[in-house]
Structure 1
Amino acid sequence: MPKITFIGAGSTVFAQNLMGDILSFPELAESTLVLYDINPERLKTSEIVAHKVAQSLGARPQIIATTDRVQALEGAHYAINMIQVAGYKPGTVIDFEIPKKYGLRQTIADTLGIGGIMRGLRTIPVLLEMAREMERLCPGVLHLNYVNPMAMNTWALLKATRIKTVGLCHSVQGTAEQLAQDIGVPVEEINYLCAGINHMAFYLKFERNGEDLYPRIRAFLESGKTAYRGHGLVKLSDSVRYEVFRRLGYFVTESSEHFSEYVPWFIKRDRPDLIAKFGIPLDEYIRRCEEQIAGWEELRAKLEHSTEPLPVRRSHEYGSLIIHSQETGTPRVVYGNVLNHHLIDNLPQGCCVEVPCLVDKNGVQPTRIGLLPPHLAALMRTNIGVQELTVEAVLSGKREHIYHAAMLDPHTAAELDLEQIWNLVDELLEAHGEWIPEPLRSKGCVLPV
């Protein structure tokens, strides 16, 4: 039976979903599940939940909880990573509050934008340290990375280490389910082909029995049901990405609140009418975190002390499917984030792309796509440059590439001038302090003469 290590297992709800997925397969029901976290209190809750999940499913795994990373990784066959470096406080709060001083507003700030850049600078070094431990303790491990910023993290891991890593997200299958609901077609009857970069992949095909379903999506758009009708700015709508579909002709995988900060068109400090028109929830991730923290003790009590059986429902995450396919040879197609080695011709070679992958006993095997529609590839390249420079900053230790990444970021550049961008980067790096590696904290970069 495989040893499956959960890194950041204190993310109890997400870990619960993945454990339920894994243990629901009879072939994996006696696996060794190792829960690792640096927070003993959250780890204890996740351990209790793991036993409850196993009990509900009638599974008999070996469950080990530890704060010792060496013990957790030694001999692991699979490592599922779900960490958040610097947490909500101070990390996320800094990423939102300091840009606000400059008039730069964000929604999620975990993938691109100035918040995504800073999150990458904090996270990549920690992931690299873990991967180097894996090279020593479990060199054959398959590393399933769920940590954002997905493209930056996966790119750095695959470029700088020998560990087999695939980045996993739920935006492709999740959006397919939402679109199916919008147009009234059962998702299990839909066949789609999607490709691009994480959070900016597009459905190249969306069909049922050979019928192109894009006309139905256009009809839904024209029906007006995508319009934002919330009160205040906290109710989410899909207005942004339906507007993008109207302009580009293809539907994007990530949510409207995410996508609004990957482009320069929707969040503008001098255009509150745009914010209102598209229902863009500024500071949305802050709201979600506060809500989650407020409900944690209640959730913890419910998870730990309830005598009711813990309901287990299969999620749409790919992690368990990959493990099951590799263990049993059952062929499946999932969407994974991998390096672009001749997979998408009009995106930079070596960047991180999201494409369909065959999984069986041979592991995760990406599918060649060829050429994307040129306007979609061009849009993706505006994000890829930011990802590349952030990865390069960490791997080279050159602080100047942080400024360059921020200068090229579509949303940041649309709102701030060059002097503001440089000052913002300086202030953010200082505020994050020791969460940023030393070479990047040193002000060794000067403006060229």
Structure 2
Amino acid sequence: MTSPKIAMIGAGSTVFAKNLLGDILGFPELAGADVRLFDINQERLDVTEQVAGRVARSVGARPTVTATTDRERALDGADFVINMIQVGGYKPATVTDFEVPKRYGLRQTIADTLGVGGIMRALRTVPVLLDMSRDMERLCPDTLHLNYVNPMAMNIWGLARQTPIKTVGLCHSVQHTAYELSQDLGIPVEEIDYLCAGINHMAFYLKFEHKGVDLYPRLMELAESGQVPAWNRVRYEMLRRLGYFVTESSEHFSEYVPYFIKRGREDLVERFNVPLDEYPRRCEAQIGGWEELRTKLQDPDAPLEVHRSVEYGSLIIHSMVTGQPRVVYGNVMNSPSDGSAGKLIANLPDECSVEVPCLVDRQGIQPTRIGRIPPQLAALMQTNINVQALTVEALVTGNREHIYHAAMLDPHTAAELDLDQIWALVDDLLAEHGDWVPEGLRRGLAAD
């Protein structure tokens, strides 16, 4: 596989595609790759195609780049499929995920992983990913599907239940948080040795050391002192209570648990600096700056900086092409489908998606068996796994009742709303999503 065929699905995400292209083409062994850019938005696809050419020239690569709105053409014979789509976009889907719950007094920060926002995102996303996987089964059955799409755990789990396509979910929370903690401690991140495990957006550093010395006492001192970055108060508070540091950001984590966003408790929101409606703000800023960014990216005279990112995608491709072994963090099923005995994390359910270190070489993704994790961490993860399990069950069986069950068991939703409110909220969300949710789930098996 000297010149791998790489399909980038959702390539209209220009900045993310630019970063991944720079990572991939920066490897001499991948500089001649056959890159297929696919998106349903021709305008954004055109911009990414131009950016791809500029990235290639910047790193001295000579890839074959094809831009197409024909998904089958992009997937045909692909060795690797990188997925970065957002089904429904900011408008109408994400706006709906935020505005409808607000009518019931339910406030969110990011709403792309758990909670009613995460549930709805899964309902509209997994069917599209599955449709793509059916194409992969026909056109590139031996491909490795690199999924960057949220809600990560529900997407990985939903696909594992319904397609044989090999999929690994990739996130940057592990490496980003390690860097943030290194800054808090004043230690270069490359000198820190860590082991992390759990579920996506709720994995914890089981080991965090510098030259063999445990760094947790220093992190705990910071937490107890209160002298922590304002934007990270939630995670340091959870460190105080659990004894371990979680990978995903405070704005995400604050809506995975019932402790920080409570109606009538504005003091909590202020004390822990919880950024309500954070994701819509980011989206509006990106939309507002798109025209200026597009002009800059398309200007051949404007400098285009290409730096290697912390994303794992290019490392996986390079290791599988060259055989160079690496360890990355990937989201896979807790009980591997290869028939090998035992779970990756012993005290989490057989059938759930977990985030663990994985060895990568020519043999592909080889997850690490962690064993048991601290019981308080497993218990907290289980509250999120409950929601994931019921959402996936709704998707696989078409039983609409499980959507209500998922929302009913969501920690934040249950802390804010009573059962009648939860049922009515799900009804409203399904109605307003319309065709974005499969017809079978809109009609479902529940009595309307």
TM-score, length of structure 2 as denominator length: 0.97
Q: Which residue of 2 aligns with 1:402?
A: 403
**Among candidates 225, 250, 262, match of residue 268 of structure 1:** 262
- Looking at structure 2, the residues matched to 26 and 225 of structure 1 have their Cα atoms a distance apart, in angstroms, of 45
Deviations 1:370-400 (A, max 9, x none): 0010000000000001001111101111100
Counterpart in the other structure of 2:322: 328
Task: Give the alignment partner of residue 29 of structure 1, picking from 31, 43, 57.
Answer: 31
Superposed, 1:242-321 pairs within 5 Å as: 242-321=236-315
1:42-96 C-alpha deviation (Å, 9 max, x unpaired)? 0000000000000000100000000000100000000000000000000000000
Query: C-alpha displacement at 1:157, in angstroms?
Result: 1.1
Contact 1:337 1:353 in 2 (8 A): yes
Is 1:97 matched with 2:99? yes
Please state whether the residue corresponding to 2:289 is helix, strand or coil. Answer: helix
Alignment correspondent of 1:180 = 182
Aligned to 1:117: 119
CA–CA separation in structure 2 for the residues paired with 1:156 and 1:421: 23
Structure 2 counterpart of 1:270, one-letter code: G
Q: Deviation per CA, 1:254-305, whole angstroms, max 9, x where unpaired?
A: 0000000000000011100000111111000000000000000100000012
SS at match of 1:143: strand
User: Are the counterparts in 2 of residues 33 and 62 from structure 1 also a CA contact under 8 Å?
Assistant: yes
Instruction: Select which of 72, 85, 88 maps to 2:87.
Output: 85
String of CA shifts for 1:206-227, please: whole Å, max 9, x gaps: 0112110111212222343216
Distance 1:224 1:445 in 2: 49
Q: What 5-or-longer segments of structure 2 have no aligned partner?
A: 336-342
Q: How many residues align?
A: 439
Cα deviation code 1:333-384 (max 9, x no counterpart)? 0000000011011100020000000000000000000001000000000000
Look up the SS of the partner of 1:407 in the other structure: helix
User: Which amino acid counterpart does residue 328 of structure 1 have in structure 2?
Assistant: T
Aligned counterpart, 1:67:
69
2:351 alignment counterpart: 350
Structure 1 match to 2:220? 218
Find the counterpart in structure 2 of residue 377 from structure 1: 378
Report the counterpart of residue 108 of structure 1 in structure 2: 110
Query: 1:309: Cα distance to partner?
Result: 3.5
AA aligned opposite 2:321 = E
| Alignment match, 1:414 | 415
- Identity of counterpart residues, as a percentage? 70
Structure-to-structure mapping, 1:34-53, within 5 angstroms: 34-53=36-55
Q: Name the stretch that deviates more: 188-197 or 300-309.
A: 300-309
Distance (Å, rounded) in 2 between the aligned partners of 1:40 and 1:333: 36
- Listed as ranges, the matches of 1:232-243 within 5 Å are 237-243=231-237
**Cα contact 1:52–1:309 (8 A) shared by 2:** no
Q: 1:425 to 1:208 in 2, by over 3 A?
A: same
Mapped partners of 1:50, 1:121: distance in 2: 32
**What amino acid maps onto 1:300 in structure 2?**
R
CA contact (8 A) 1:325 1:359 kept: yes
1:232 — aligned with what?
none
Taking the aligned partners of 2:91 and 2:122, their CA distance within structure 1 comes to 16
Cα drift, residue 446 of structure 1: 3.4
1:129 alignment counterpart: 131
Rounded Cα–Cα distance in structure 2 between residues aligned with 1:444 and 1:180: 51
Quote the residue 1:20 is aligned against. Answer: 22
Aligned with 1:378: secondary structure? helix
SS in 2 for 1:238: helix
Relative distance call for 1:30 and 1:249 in structure 2 (3 A) is same
Secondary structure, aligned partner of 1:105: coil
1:204 corresponds in structure 2 to 206
Whole-angstrom distance in 1 between the partners of 2:195 and 2:305: 33
Which letter does structure 2 place at the counterpart of 1:69?
Answer: R
CA contact (8 A) 2:398 2:444 kept: no
Aligned equivalents of 1:104 and 1:426: distance in 2? 15
User: Structure 2: how far apart are the matches of 1:110 and 1:142?
Assistant: 24
Instruction: Name the CA distance, whole Å, in 1 between partners of 2:298 and 2:258.
Output: 45
TM-score by length of 1: 0.97
Alignment of 1:416-431 (within 5 A): 416-431=417-432
**Separation in structure 2 between the aligned mates of residue 337 and residue 443 of structure 1, nearest angstrom:** 30
Residues 159-215 of structure 1: CA distance to partner in whole angstroms, max 9, x if unpaired?
A: 210100000000001100100110011111111000000000000000112110111
1:227–1:278 CA contact under 8 A, matched in 2: no
Contact 1:4 1:78 in 2 (8 A): yes
Structure 1: state its 5+ residue gaps: 229-236
2:197/2:357 contact within 8 Å kept: yes
Alpha-carbon distance in structure 1 between the residues aligned to 2:255 and 2:182 = 25
Rounded Cα–Cα distance in structure 2 between residues aligned with 1:307 and 1:446 = 62
Aligned residue type for 1:261? E
Amino acid at match of 2:434: G
- Of 430-439 and 154-163, more deviation after overlay is shown by 154-163
Distance 2:207 2:348 in 1: 19
